[in-house]
Amino acid sequence: MRTQVAIIGAGPSGLLLGQLLHQAGIDNVILERQSGDYVLGRIRAGILEQVTVDLLREAGVGAGVAAGGTVHHSIELVFGGARHPIDVHGLTGGRVVTAYGQTEVTHDLMQARRAAGLATVYEAADVTPLDFDGDRPRVSYRKDGSAHVLECDFIAGCDGFHGVSRKAVKEHVSEYEKVYPFGWLGVLADVPPVSPHAIVYGNSERGFSLCSMRSLTRSRYYVQCPLDDKVDDWSDQRFWDELRRRLDPDLAGRIVTGPSIEKSIAPLRSFVAEPMRFGRLFLAGDAAHIVPPTGAKGLNLAATDVKYLSSAMIEFFSERSPAGIDHYSQVCLKRVWKAERFSWWLTSLMHRFPDTDGFAQKVQEAELDYLVHSKAASTALAENYVGLPL
Ligand code: FAS
Ligand code: PHB
């Protein structure tokens, strides 16, 4: 089989890249290790920057987020028993974020890909990128016990943090990593969100908490938990009680509880692999970088990687110009590192660290107090939260 671009991974990065390339008349095939249902079953991101919403529209899948997304003009920080609004819209000259789940984004992209009759090989085993240091790259894989080779012009490694693409170039990659000494216990429940128009980030002496949503009838909540906690340690009742303890009394009193439909613990890390291009192989999204979810940047960074990569490939195929692909890694990493900094900063500010001494705790409290009372500091938070300009 032959295609112009072989895409490894059918998460948001791979599906969005496939859609943008298809819109430009560039043939592509996606090879995905899991089943489509398995990919859709993963509960992950929930907040889209405007750049991402615009990209979904450009990819021809903007209808879902336009109909089902909830626009947020502000966020709220809860600490010291009080809630502090940050007017993101006002501080950034009218920019906003949209609450719309990664699951829904993935569903919309899958539906568009199916409707366009594009090739996606689910449950592809032993996917292996080959010969990408020359101009005739290939990807081998197994499907239903048979061996296959996909010949192509480019390979896009959109296979996430645990994928095969970065592993294929491990001797050429510089890795930068920070692992955090806690995780996030997340609960999804079909109850109305306690704060439908502002994501609430809490820092209490018991730890971090987050009140988010997927729709006006489905909520997403998180509490910081020790890394050695297990999901089975947390009954729904224990989760709701702990979440309430970490919020201000007014908000705690308004939480609508209900049975969890998903409950999971995610570890937090900051990670960057440099560079992101190796001959005809390109890394995009979580295959190249990971951020702690505090800044809601993971999915959005994946989207902007894909914006840069699709533009570079379209330029190559339409003008035979290598300029975009030659600058891909450098352009992406400039944006990636700014998102890594912001996500590390907000994580450091909003979580309780087991090894924090008295002085560091006082400094954290002073920084929170300064942040919500300084227009300059709030503006810096707001402009990073809505996403820096491309
Ligand atoms: P993905 O990991 O989503 O997709 C990679 C795809 O490649 C998967 O479908 C995988 O099955 C496939 N694959 C892997 N190896 C393969 C192989 N060898 N062959 C073929 N296919 C292979 N971001 C936020 O902004 N907010 C959040 O709250 C948030 N929560 C998260 C919680 C968890 C548990 C995780 C893991 C991530 C979270 N993220 C969050 C980040 C997340 O949203 C990612 O940024 C986003 O999924 C990135 O998309 P992809 O780059 O497509 O990677
Ligand atoms: C989510 O809705 O899952 C979410 C929202 C904001 C974040 C992280 C996750 O910072």
Q: Is 141 a catalytic residue?
A: no
Does any ligand 2 atom lie closer than 6 A to the CB of residue 212? Answer: yes
Output the pLDDT for position 248: 96
Residue 350 CA to ligand 2 centre (angstroms): 14
Q: What is the mean pLDDT of each run of 10 residues along the chain (390 residues)?
A: 98 98 98 97 93 97 96 97 97 97 97 98 98 97 97 98 98 98 98 96 98 96 97 98 97 98 97 98 98 98 98 97 97 98 98 94 98 98 96
Asked if 277 and 323 count as a contact pair (C-beta separation under 8 A), the reply is no
Q: Is any ligand 1 atom within 6 A of the Cβ of residue 387?
A: no
CATH topology of domain 180-268+350-371: D-Amino Acid Oxidase; Chain A, domain 2 (3.30.9)
- The total number of residues shown for the chain amounts to 390
- How far apart CA 383 and CA 3 sit, in angstroms, is 40
Residues in CB range of 71: below 8 A, 6 or more apart: 96, 97, 98, 99
Q: Is the CB of 12 under 6 A from ligand 1?
A: yes
Cα(321)–Cα(185) distance, integer angstroms: 47
- For 62-111, how does the pLDDT look when each residue is reduced to its tens digit (9 = 90+)? 999 999 999 999 999 999 999 999 999 999 999 999 999 999 999 999 99
Confirm or reject: Cβ of 296 under 6 Å from ligand 2: yes
For ligand 2, atom 7: residue with the closest CA: 296
Which token pair is 26?
């560039």
- The continuous run of DSSP H or E covering 225 comes out as strand 218-225
Q: Where are the alpha helices (DSSP H) in the chain?
A: 12-23, 36-41, 50-58, 63-68, 88-91, 102-115, 165-168, 236-245, 249-254, 298-319, 323-350, 358-373, 375-385
| Long-range contact set of residues 318-321: C-beta below 8 Å, sequence gap at least 24 | 318/24
CA separation for the pair 305, 335 (Å, rounded): 9
- Please choose from 44, 222, 264 the residue to mutate so as to test ligand 2's pocket, defined by most ligand atoms within 8 A of CB: 222
- 63 alpha carbon – ligand 2 mean position (Å): 22
Ligand 2 atom closest to 293 (CA):
8
Q: Closest ligand 2 atom to the C-alpha of 213? A: 2
Q: Which atom of ligand 2 is nearest to the CA of 44?
A: 3
Residue 31 CA: which ligand 1 atom is closest? 20
**For 343-371, b where at least 16 C-beta lie within 10 A, e where not — what string?**
bbbbbebbbebeeeeeeeeeebeeebeeb
Please report, for the chain, the start and end positions of each structural domain, with discontinuous segments joined by +: 5-70+97-177+269-345, 180-268+350-371
Number of H helices, E strands in the chain: 13, 20
- pLDDT for residue 43: 87
Instruction: Read off the tokens for 260.
Output: 């969890």
pLDDT of residue 371: 98
Architecture of domain 5-70+97-177+269-345: 3-Layer(bba) Sandwich (3.50)
The CA 85 to ligand 1 mean position distance, Å, reads 31
Nearest CA to ligand 1 atom 40: 45
pLDDT in tens, 124-142: 999 999 999 999 999 999 9
Give the active site residue among 72, 263, 307, 351. 72
- Would you call 308 a catalytic residue per the annotation? no
Nearest residue by C-alpha to atom 1 in ligand 2: 46
Distance from Cα 207 to the centre of ligand 1, integer Å:
26
Q: What is the pTM of this model?
A: 0.96
- Count of CB atoms situated within 10 Å of the CB of 32: 24
Annotated active-site residue 385? The verdict is: yes
pLDDT value of position 111: 97
